Structure 1
Amino acid sequence: MKQYTDQTGTAITLPAVPLRIVSLVPSLTELLFDLGLEDRLVGITKFCVHPYHLKSTKKIVGGTKKVHPEKIRLLQPDIIICNKEENTQEIVDTMREIAPVWVSDIVTIDDVLAMITEFGKIFSVRTQSQQWINKINYAQADFKKFMEGREWLKTAYFIWKDPYMAAANGTFINEMMKLNHFSNIYGHLQRYPEVIVQKMRIQGDPDVVFLSSEPYPFKDEDAFELGRHTHHAKTVFVDGEMFSWYGSRLVKAFDYFKKLQERMQEPA
């Protein structure tokens, strides 16, 4: 019997190393795979698209906001992985009736590293978890060196339309923006506020407007609409996974950010 504390401060007790895992968090499904735990994964969401083949080899138990408890119960999981932001409290409470639930709460890269360390202990893959921590630390240090001396740009990062919603303070996306020297015009707000885009000029007038590939599929006409509410902003479509998937994807994210920085230097 071992006790662990998840990132919301909730204690969970595990009688043994979990051999049957259900993951309700796409980015953490990818992390569990990269930690060598593919054989222990028994259930995932329909949004767990990396690596792609898991969708055909694992049981799909719903999405991140709506799951099928009975499907999960039948899988007889030893542990269920959730996230404070991506899964509702109702889902977490329901899952706790089935198996121990470990809830992640990620805002910073330090939070990511702490989670990977804990996964190493919980799943008895300490060597693999340390290897990924080393990769992330190296990639982050390399990127910080790459960013030395680069100017800060005023930016806005949109995740939704009707209503328009932006990433603000207290989010992992905002942390990634800071690493890229992207000064968030909505950084004084919290989480994912609804914003009035017609007021962008007086609320910060960004140099760049980012349109995320997820969760909303922005189109060219959206870029045009947002652009005309600024004086001179460049509108850029970005890979939302690179800004919001916390876990092993961070290593790829830093390479992506280097290419994005080069795009920022190109003339409009």
Structure 2
Amino acid sequence: MKIISLVPSITETLFDFGLTKNQIVGRTKFCIHPKNLVREVEVIGGTKNLNIEKIKSINPDFIIANKEENEKLQVEELAKDFKVWVTNVGNLEDNYYFLKMLGNHLGMAEKAQLFNLKIQEVMNVAPPKTPLKVCYLIWKNPYMTVGGDTFISDVLTKLGFENIFKNRKRYPEISVEEMKEADCIFLSSEPFPFQQKHIDELQELLAGKKIMLVDGEAFSWFGTHLAKREKYFDDLLKIVATKL
């Protein structure tokens, strides 16, 4: 079977399941994991700017897309000629069923179950008595955060944090003033590449607040990625505890 993946976390998941470059025949330019394997797979554009003609020339048996990551019109165009699975992973439960369905499709149900069990283990942390209030920033100019109906927010919750914007939808714009309600402010490494200078800028406006950089992949990449982030989350929780 020849598969094209239109999402970085899906590409990583396919390789984690054990598929090879002969089976994964197309991926986006943002597919970066596993580094030593993805570089041997044909690039078919960006997640929101697919090269439709190149995909047609590859003639895949199966294309895996995502409702949030890919453009609807482009996916619909591909669906005219190819079998397309449009995934929609908005929380950890969705991720469980995504892996289960993928395992069934690939004839690897047992491997999917092992990944799901590992993810449950990783996310089974001892929550603090009082959830730490967090503002998770994904963008600057304007500042944008995550609402309660996002995968990132669900991961935060499972780790024992309280998203102070959990009553908002999707990715709302927020003000610096609104951030004052948080105990911690997380600056994600993606999609906006926050750096130390951005912490310094916010620290001047939010004196005394705990502001830190976090790995955006750990919070936003669905599929098998979470199964490999146990140490990162353990270390993060320890660091947060020492900062408060």
CA contact 2:122–2:229 (8 Å) conserved in 1: no
Where does residue 122 of structure 1 map in the other structure?
105
Q: Trace 1:211-230 onto structure 2 (pairs within 5 A).
A: 211-230=187-206
Where does residue 44 of structure 1 map in the other structure?
27
Following TM superposition, by how much is the alpha carbon of 1:149 offset from its aligned partner in structure 2, in angstroms?
4.1
Where does residue 184 of structure 1 map in the other structure?
163
The 3-state SS of whatever aligns with 1:42 is strand
Unaligned runs of 5+ in 1: 1-18
Following TM superposition, by how much is the alpha carbon of 1:225 offset from its aligned partner in structure 2, in angstroms?
2.6
Unaligned runs of 5+ in 2: none
CA separation of 1:62/1:107 partners in 2, compared to 1, >3 Å: closer, same or farther? Answer: same
User: Distance between the aligned counterparts of 2:109 and 2:34, measured in 1?
Assistant: 22
Question: What root-mean-square deviation, in Å, do the aligned CA atoms of Structure 1 and Structure 2 show?
Answer: 1.6
CA separation of 1:227/1:206 partners in 2, compared to 1, >3 Å: closer, same or farther? Answer: farther
Following TM superposition, by how much is the alpha carbon of 1:177 offset from its aligned partner in structure 2, in angstroms?
0.8
User: Distance between the aligned counterparts of 1:254 and 1:191, measured in 2?
Assistant: 26
The 3-state SS of whatever aligns with 1:98 is coil
Are residues 1:28 and 2:10 paired?
A: yes
Higher alpha-carbon deviation: 212-221 or 227-236? 227-236
Aligned residues: 243
The 3-state SS of whatever aligns with 2:135 is strand
Q: Which residue among 98, 102, 113 is the counterpart of 2:81?
A: 98
CA contact 2:135–2:179 (8 Å) conserved in 1: no
Following TM superposition, by how much is the alpha carbon of 1:93 offset from its aligned partner in structure 2, in angstroms?
0.9
Are residues 1:70 and 2:53 paired?
A: yes
Q: Deviations over 1:160-182 (max 9, x none)?
A: 11221111111000001111221
Are residues 1:165 and 2:144 paired?
A: yes
What TM-score results when the alignment is normalised by the length of structure 2?
0.93
The 3-state SS of whatever aligns with 1:57 is coil
CA contact 1:157–1:209 (8 Å) conserved in 2: yes
The 3-state SS of whatever aligns with 1:266 is helix
Where does residue 57 of structure 1 map in the other structure?
40
Where does residue 121 of structure 2 map in the other structure?
138
Where does residue 3 of structure 1 map in the other structure?
none
Specify the code of the residue in structure 1 equivalent to 2:171.
Answer: Y
Specify the code of the residue in structure 1 equivalent to 2:90.
Answer: V
User: Distance between the aligned counterparts of 2:131 and 2:62, measured in 1?
Assistant: 43
What TM-score results when the alignment is normalised by the length of structure 1?
0.85
CA contact 2:196–2:213 (8 Å) conserved in 1: no
Q: Deviations over 1:209-229 (max 9, x none)?
A: 100001111122321232344
CA contact 1:44–1:60 (8 Å) conserved in 2: yes
User: Distance between the aligned counterparts of 1:210 and 1:163, measured in 2?
Assistant: 16
Where does residue 237 of structure 1 map in the other structure?
213
Following TM superposition, by how much is the alpha carbon of 1:53 offset from its aligned partner in structure 2, in angstroms?
2.0
CA separation of 1:139/1:219 partners in 2, compared to 1, >3 Å: closer, same or farther? Answer: closer
CA separation of 1:56/1:149 partners in 2, compared to 1, >3 Å: closer, same or farther? Answer: closer
User: Distance between the aligned counterparts of 2:179 and 2:57, measured in 1?
Assistant: 50
CA contact 2:155–2:219 (8 Å) conserved in 1: yes
Specify the code of the residue in structure 2 equivalent to 1:102.
Answer: W
User: Distance between the aligned counterparts of 1:176 and 1:127, measured in 2?
Assistant: 24
CA separation of 1:22/1:152 partners in 2, compared to 1, >3 Å: closer, same or farther? Answer: same
User: Distance between the aligned counterparts of 1:25 and 1:266, measured in 2?
Assistant: 36
Following TM superposition, by how much is the alpha carbon of 1:231 offset from its aligned partner in structure 2, in angstroms?
5.1
Structure 1 vs Structure 2: percent identity of aligned residues?
A: 38
Following TM superposition, by how much is the alpha carbon of 1:186 offset from its aligned partner in structure 2, in angstroms?
1.3
Specify the code of the residue in structure 2 equivalent to 1:162.
Answer: N
Following TM superposition, by how much is the alpha carbon of 1:136 offset from its aligned partner in structure 2, in angstroms?
2.0
